[in-house]
Amino acid sequence: MTEKEDRLQRLTAVRPRLVSFALMHLRDRSQAEDAVQEAMMSAIEKNESFAGRSGYETWVFGILKYKILDAMRVQKRHGRWQPLEDEDDDDAIDRQFQQNGRWQESARPSRWGEPEAAFETEHFWQVFDACMIALPDNAARVFSLRELMGLSTDDICKELDIKENNCWVILHRARLRLRACIEKGWLKEETA
């Protein structure tokens, strides 16, 4: 197999992961697929410029990252986002705590076990996926930029034009929602 064929094969293999990565950020399947399509095209075009320092897949993810950021800017410009400052429905969070700031009995975090063991089960990733989808759009976007793409909150603020404090608030809520959702979906079945 030539190197080119090998890379095409690897592109095809990694495509589903690229799509779900893009979907977490863009919250729209057809836009996610477009971004992945563009990233794959430009990976093929720029094949020569892959320096081999990082893995090929990592390199492709790097290209996709810029396509996603472009697509997000377009979404935002077209007014497809709820205002980011606006997400003050604290319900899902408040339900986890009592008035005095202690955990609700029903929401007290349980032990999830070793991360490595969790990451190795298909089921954990299905639950993670479902819980990401269930997040409010803006919470999911900010969480994805921070934790999936690995941007700093400073960069996220510049990208989304929000205050850093705002960003931390959104991330705090997103994490609380995610942990509650994952605990419900994953642990309960693990122990069943």
Partner 1 sequence: MMMCKEATRLMSLKQDRPLTFQERLSLRLHLSMCGACRECDRQFTLLHEAGRRFGPEHDADHDDDGH
52 is a contact residue toward partner 1 (CB under 8 A) = no
Q: Which of 11, 141, 146, 160 binds partner 1 (CB under 8 A)?
A: 146
Which of 130, 122, 114 is CA-nearest to residue 181? 130
Please answer whether residues 139 and 81 qualify as being in contact, where contact means their C-beta atoms are separated by less than 8 angstroms. Answer: no
Least gap, CB of 59 to partner 1 (angstroms): 6
What is the distance of C-alpha 166 from the center of its chain? Answer: 18
Rounded CA-CA distance 41/33 in Å is 12
**Which is nearer to partner 1, 80 or 96 (by Cβ)?**
96
Span from 2-10, 29-37, 74-82, 177-185 in contact with partner 1 (CB under 8 A): 177-185
Please answer whether residues 110 and 187 qualify as being in contact, where contact means their C-beta atoms are separated by less than 8 angstroms. Answer: yes
CA angle 85, 91, 97 (to 5 degrees): 120
Least gap, CB of 137 to partner 1 (angstroms): 17
Span from 1-9, 26-34, 75-83, 138-146 in contact with partner 1 (CB under 8 A): 138-146
Please answer whether residues 79 and 163 qualify as being in contact, where contact means their C-beta atoms are separated by less than 8 angstroms. Answer: no
153-160 and 164-182 helices, crossing angle to 10°: 110
Q: Which of residues 97-136 bind partner 1 (CB under 8 A)?
A: 97, 100-103, 108-112, 115, 118-119, 124, 128
Chain residues binding partner 1 by CB under 8 A are: 20-21, 24, 53-55, 57-63, 65-66, 97, 100-103, 108-112, 115, 118-119, 124, 128, 143-144, 146-150, 152-153, 167-168, 171-172, 175-176, 178-179, 182-183
